[in-house]
Structure 1
Amino acid sequence: MVDERLNEETGRLLGAADVRAIAADAGISPTKKFGQNFVIDPGTVRKIVRAAGVKAGDRVLEVGPGLGSLTLALLEAGTKVTAVEIDPPVAERLPRTIGEYMPAALDRFRVVNADALAVTAEQLPELANGEPFTLVANLPYNVATPIVLTLLERFSNLQSFLVMVQKEVADRLCAQPGSKIYGTPSVKLAWYGTAERAGLVGRNVFWPAPNVDSALVLFHRAPEGNVATTQGFGSDADRKLVFALIDAAFSQRRKTLHAALRKQIPQGSFELAGIDPTRRGETLTIDEFITLAQAVKKLQAEQE
């Protein structure tokens, strides 16, 4: 039997009936446009919070909170949550849900109606003060990779994330050089730090149930902000150069580096970097892309 006194003090999480009732009351239907699949299982959101490693007092950013299932689990853990929600009716409803299910946590919660790909530091002042924060989110599958890369670029104090994404996306984000799924998302994320798979999530915990499997990705940022900073090569301009080389190297996967990059880099770049130009981009680590970019930058400077 549930202890009602415990409920009054700590609140409770959303079950399947709660999610559907909230949606019906607010006139909200999950839409493909925003990639909405709402979690209806309390055990799953608690699993996500545990995997994220957040604790009471931690600052958390949640993207795509939906009807509040994961939000409530984060608040239950004592964190301070800023939620960014693109869908106006969903964003409008969320504070009411927190007030009904976990009223004591309302002062630790704020929702911003915005697109996570366009949100600015000015819109999120509590995250722009340099205090480390964690991203914990059930991300819309169609924009998951752009969201994490954009936020890592925009907020240097985003120290870690635990995101639920399509399993295929999770595999790509965590892929290692030489594998068939290793590509631009894998290498660009590796510029910022290290990622690993942190578990699978079944389809039956969502409403509506998606047609794909889901997985958790755990990421930790490099202590210096990115992996190149210790080499004196971590500026925004340096990152753009590295990312341009990555994009070109993977634009046609079967091409050698020489063929893919011959119009973009000075002659002698491969020799200076110590990289065999007959290799393909899919075999290079982030460190090797950085070394190649350093060589390119040096040769370009000498030609000026």
Structure 2
Amino acid sequence: MGAALLGPREVRALAAELGVRPTKTLGQNFVIDANTVRRIVQVADVGADDVVVEVGPGLGSLTLALLPAVSRVVAVEIDPVLAGRLEQTVGERAPALAGRLEVVRSDALEVDTLPGPAPTALVANLPYNVSVPVLLHLLERFATLRRGLVMVQAEVADRLAAAPGSRVYGVPSVKAQWYAEVSRAGAVGRHVFWPAPNVDSGLVRLDRRDPPETTATRQEVFALVDAAFAQRRKGLRAALAGWAGSPARAEQALRAAGIDPLARGESLTVEDFARLAAQRALPGPGASAG
């Protein structure tokens, strides 16, 4: 079973029919190149047993490419006009596969449950203005997501996949790596979108892993990460003074975690942050833990 994929003419015709103009507010750029969506499905390494979450399906370009390859696609779309048309588009262009599609009209940042079997993979052209929050939210809410392939702004792709010590390593890097092994999976040019964005795009692959072992909660580790990168130019002893209660307590926690107090946040791995977060409750010099 196959699907008739959308090209530039079909995308523009659908948009005209619906009176839709892609909006920057929703981060909409519609894919008009069939080869690109075929490539995304191939690189995503999804198969017949997968239940795929797709965020921001838009007019259905990627949806139509996913349906023949997987058991089910749950498409989360915030735009009511696009959400309302997607099932019809699939029915017209891939009638034998229409039963594999479930459309959820919702803001992906507010999705806590999904209908049907638990999702196993995330494959999406994420809305660029909320790509990182959406990605982190879904990884946190759906532990059954074992892998993902997302298309995001190239700069964001670099940040997500950055290693410690990299100039672009930061909050998105650490938080994504709490959940998964993250890697760049290719570049995507501007010409495959309508309208063409002002930035290049990149593919990011995620392979779920267990979070680092720590007595701290994920929320506590993430609060530490936010604090460490809020003042990137400072060493951690100074940058974490507010987090720990004082520079002295920050230094004590850092030393207890085996981290140089003069190091900066961009030099720490997610395991380092997890280990450090567990030290926060230790009493500082002349202070009580309370």
Q: Do both share a fold (TM > 0.5)?
A: yes
Indicate yes or no: 2:162 matched with 1:175.
Answer: yes
- 2:218 paired residue number: 239
Structure 1 residues 284 and 11: alpha-carbon distance in aligned structure 2, compared to 1, 3 A threshold: closer
Cα distance in 2 for residues equivalent to 1:120 and 1:187? 23
Q: Which runs of 5+ in 2 are unaligned?
A: none
The letter for the 2-side match of 1:144 is S
Three-state SS of the structure 2 residue aligned to 1:83 is strand
- Post-superposition shift, 1:275? 0.9
Listed one character per residue, the Cα deviations across residues 124-170 of structure 1 (whole Å, up to 9, x for unaligned) are 1325xxx4510000011111000000111111111111000000000
- Correspondent of 1:293 among 277, 283, 286: 277
Q: Write the distance in 1 (CA, Å) between the matches of 2:3 and 2:204.
A: 28
Residue correspondence of structure 1 range 101-120 to structure 2 within 5 A:
101-120=93-112
Size of the aligned set, in residue pairs, is 282
Cα contact 2:53–2:123 (8 A) shared by 1? yes
Structure 1 residues 238 and 78: CA distance shift in structure 2, 3 A: closer
In the alignment, the residues of structure 2 paired with residue 11 and residue 191 of structure 1 have an alpha-carbon distance, to the nearest angstrom, of: 36
Distance 1:256 1:40, change over 3 A: same
State whether structure 2 residue 199 is matched by structure 1 residue 212: yes
Aligned to 2:144: 157
Amino acid at match of 1:244: A
Work out whether 1:33 is the aligned partner of 2:25.
yes
TM-score w.r.t. structure 2 length?
Answer: 0.93
1:84 maps to what in 2? 76
What is the letter of the counterpart of residue 30 of structure 1?
P
| Identity of matched residues, % | 56
The alignment status of 1:140 with 2:130, answered yes or no, reads: no
What is the aligned partner in structure 2 of residue 126 from structure 1? 116
How much does 1:119 deviate?
Answer: 1.4
In structure 1, how many angstroms separate the alpha carbons of the residues matched to 2:106 and 2:218? 26
User: In the alignment, is residue 282 of structure 1 matched against residue 266 of structure 2?
Assistant: yes
Runs of 4 or more, structure 1, over 3 Å off, are 297-300
Instruction: Give the CA deviation at 1:21.
Output: 1.1
Paired letter, 1:14: L
Q: Does 2:217 match 1:271?
A: no
Could you tell me how far apart the structure 2 residues matched to 1:187 and 1:181 are? 11
Distance 1:284 1:149 in 2: 20
Give the whole-Å Cα distance in 2 for the aligned partners of 1:250 and 1:69.
Answer: 37
Contact map agreement 1:177 1:283 (CA 8 A) in 2:
yes
- Contact 1:197-1:215 at 8 Å conserved across structures: yes
- Measured against aligned partners, the alpha-carbon deviations of 1:68-99 in whole angstroms (never above 9, x if no partner) come to 00000000223310000010001001011000
Q: Please name the residue that 1:15 is paired with.
A: 7
Secondary structure, counterpart of 2:217 in structure 1: helix
Partner of 1:261: 240
Distance 1:197 1:15, change over 3 A: same
The alignment partner of 1:196 has SS state of strand
Q: Which amino acid counterpart does residue 95 of structure 1 have in structure 2? A: E
Aligned AA for 1:257? L
* Alignment correspondent of 1:3: none
Q: Distance in 2 between matches of 1:166 and 1:52?
A: 17
- Whole-angstrom distance in 2 between the partners of 1:66 and 1:77: 19
Amino acid at match of 1:303: A
Partner of 1:252: 231
Any gaps of 5 or more consecutive residues in structure 1? Answer: 1-8
* TM-fit CA distance, 1:232: 5.1
Q: Does the CA contact (< 8 Å) of 1:71 and 1:81 recur in 2? A: yes
- TM-score scaled by length of structure 1: 0.89
CA distance in 1, matches of 2:38, 2:148: 15
